[in-house]
Structure 1
């Protein structure tokens, strides 16, 4: 996995914990330490994420394997960027293999078709075992390392796709890929997410957004919409959870417009604190967009959690989101970057003229998550995909 404990990738730990609960022993390896104060689920790690000193030592002892690295992918030579990525993955693989000792590793599974997949690929080659990967979103839609991507897909024993959109994108990119694929949604534990039978109108409506502060989450659209909504409704509040490279400019923009503190950027929070916020929210807003390279979200888990908790959601039809949210049926979809459309839909949610319509959408949203995005069902699908490779 890329990081642990993670704020934005809680689904990795929860899926691994569920796979282990279903009888498959799991040991995790994280490339770096995440920013979450504690993990979303209990998961045994092979070792702590390595320090720079440990990676430097791995470089020394792993030189023979480094010289034997595959510097080509089919007919394509790796770019300088890809070569650097492969070297770093080699260091992680060497470090992880030193920690294995007698773990009896039978199979390696990576999340994301990036550096984590490269580490898994190199470890599997040295252990002579199979490896597999879950592809999520930008790692499939707009890969920065096309030659490495080709090699990952050519050597993986199986590929789990977090959405139909990801599945189709990979098949178009590499139609000759022989590895079996399956759609395995990264779901949520619906049994732990209580659905309130009804929700009362709140005179001080509270909106919540959860997601990394990056270009694909649509936070600049949120700034525009919050400005319009808060000028029209002096009681409305909006809490934005998450950290990332856009944190400072977004806070500065909110301050310039006089939106603070009603629009508050609270940084990264522990998973249980996020769920507490969602339970009290009157609407969940995540107007996702594509970045300049065509990358976008897969199916954000925070959307699933909000829907399971009965919170009306507003988002955009990018990536795999349309597989979860059907506009006017299980939530609301607005065009990416359209702050006016976002404002209009939020007003329908927080000041509904037809409350029964919102109630019907809440119920349908919960049903959708239960039937298609449940954590247990997703873990079982992953196990079925990997069945022939597992002990």
Structure 2
């Protein structure tokens, strides 16, 4: 049996974080005993089947301290006896002086609960996301003297202040991230470059077996066989769905297409209103959130996958959206933007179609090019699948994590962009 790990998560389970569930299941299969601790309770109405395969118990911290005042007060009192409690207090007071918010106080209270309710036999804390979860993890680790590590992903890397990133990177035993862009940013901020590692999440390819059928070579000329354009993602600003809708509205009148969107999100009503204003709402179907295996059928029945990712005003952005890798695993040609980790997966015109972000005209032209060239589109989809199956198998990431948790050097660190 490998070591017993506590894994701290911002929310669990979440439909939008299948890559985390996949990693948890992979670690269990590798022999680790896991205890999951979540800062928030689930809000999704559906859950992926993979969550039912994970055996680890799940414990929930008080999301807001006032909701469980006696639990929090008891924890703060008992935490005073922990060997590193006053060192954690010192860190907290210094952080509060630079970030005087209720959120900062909440993280310290949650850390005290985690420290006092620490599971017997667990000797390591691993945290997903380097923003607020890592604040809780850092304080709790300091209180009880347990080593901690962190997986940084996308928004958390780019919206957390540099002083906080530097200090968390200094305190964590190691940090792993999933794109070259994120890796370079964190390595540049760390005083110990060697403890920052790049490891792509990849896919559980058993859940995405090869698509053996051949797609029809539709080119949008026949009104009875419109091109099916698919996109999957929460309706949030960084996904660029407003750009995608504008691009769709700019496609020439002689092209026949339909658009399928899968995902929830707070901006869904705004997007539907925008589609109506653009005069394309009759060509769109909004499906809402779906489980991973339901989405697989849409990857296989669609002709093109489109996602117009952007960098938002506060720096938020995707890393390498897993849906692009999933779609590629099914030979589905992808049209996207050249931000963050997306160019690490796709080379324009080789295994994908890339344009600059925030440009609906360029996106429309790229879509049109892909629609009118079905043979080229098929070749690009095939090339994308080859890359996924060669370089994005999640088992490699699990092997790397096994080495890190054992304090062994990674045998084959992915600290560079894989060749196209």
Query: TM-score, normalization: structure 1?
Result: 0.89
Q: Which moved more, 1:279-288 or 1:379-388?
A: 379-388
Q: Which moved more, 1:59-68 or 1:311-320?
A: 59-68
Counterparts of 1:253 and 1:318, CA distance in 2 = 24
Counterpart contact for 2:75–2:116, Cα < 8 Å: no
- 2:163 paired with 1:147: yes
- Give the match for residue 34 of structure 2: 26
Shift of 1:49: 5.9
CA pair 99-201 structure 1, distance change in 2 beyond 3 A: farther
Once the two structures are superposed, residues 227-276 of structure 1 have per-residue CA deviations (whole angstroms, 9 ceiling, x without a partner) of 1238443x411112222232221111112223224223332222222222
Aligned match for 1:359, one of 378, 386, 398:
378
Shift of 1:45: 3.2
- Give the match for residue 95 of structure 1: 113
Counterparts of 1:185 and 1:251, CA distance in 2 = 34
- 2:172 paired with 1:172: no
- Give the match for residue 7 of structure 1: 15
Counterpart contact for 2:319–2:340, Cα < 8 Å: yes
CA pair 112-2 structure 1, distance change in 2 beyond 3 A: same
SS of match in other structure, 1:315: strand
SS of match in other structure, 1:290: coil
- 2:61 paired with 1:45: no
CA pair 200-312 structure 1, distance change in 2 beyond 3 A: same
Counterparts of 1:279 and 1:311, CA distance in 2 = 7
Counterparts of 2:277 and 2:379, CA distance in 1 = 39
Query: TM-score, normalization: structure 2?
Result: 0.83
- Give the match for residue 199 of structure 2: 184
Counterparts of 1:147 and 1:120, CA distance in 2 = 17
Shift of 1:17: 0.4
Once the two structures are superposed, residues 107-134 of structure 1 have per-residue CA deviations (whole angstroms, 9 ceiling, x without a partner) of 1111111111122222222332111111
Aligned match for 2:217, one of 201, 205, 220:
201
Aligned match for 2:70, one of 32, 57, 75:
57
Shift of 1:308: 0.6
Shift of 1:210: 1.2
CA pair 57-212 structure 1, distance change in 2 beyond 3 A: farther
Counterpart contact for 1:288–1:296, Cα < 8 Å: yes
SS of match in other structure, 2:44: coil
* Structure 2: runs of 5 or more not aligned: 1-8, 219-224, 409-420
Counterparts of 1:113 and 1:336, CA distance in 2 = 26
Counterparts of 2:38 and 2:76, CA distance in 1 = 22
Shift of 1:374: 1.2
Q: Which runs of structure 2 are paired with 1:343-358 in the superposition (5 Å)?
A: 343-352=364-373, 355=375, 357-358=376-377
SS of match in other structure, 2:203: coil
Shift of 1:136: 1.1
- 2:247 paired with 1:225: yes
Counterpart contact for 2:247–2:360, Cα < 8 Å: yes
- Give the alignment's Cα RMSD to 1 decimal: 2.5
- Give the match for residue 384 of structure 1: 403
- 2:288 paired with 1:288: no
* Structure 1: runs of 5 or more not aligned: none
CA pair 80-40 structure 1, distance change in 2 beyond 3 A: farther
Counterparts of 2:95 and 2:209, CA distance in 1 = 52
Q: Which moved more, 1:297-306 or 1:110-119?
A: 110-119
Counterparts of 2:61 and 2:31, CA distance in 1 = 26
Shift of 1:81: 3.8
Once the two structures are superposed, residues 180-235 of structure 1 have per-residue CA deviations (whole angstroms, 9 ceiling, x without a partner) of 121111111123213234322242221111122222111111110121238443x4
Counterpart contact for 2:107–2:132, Cα < 8 Å: yes
Counterpart contact for 1:239–1:266, Cα < 8 Å: yes
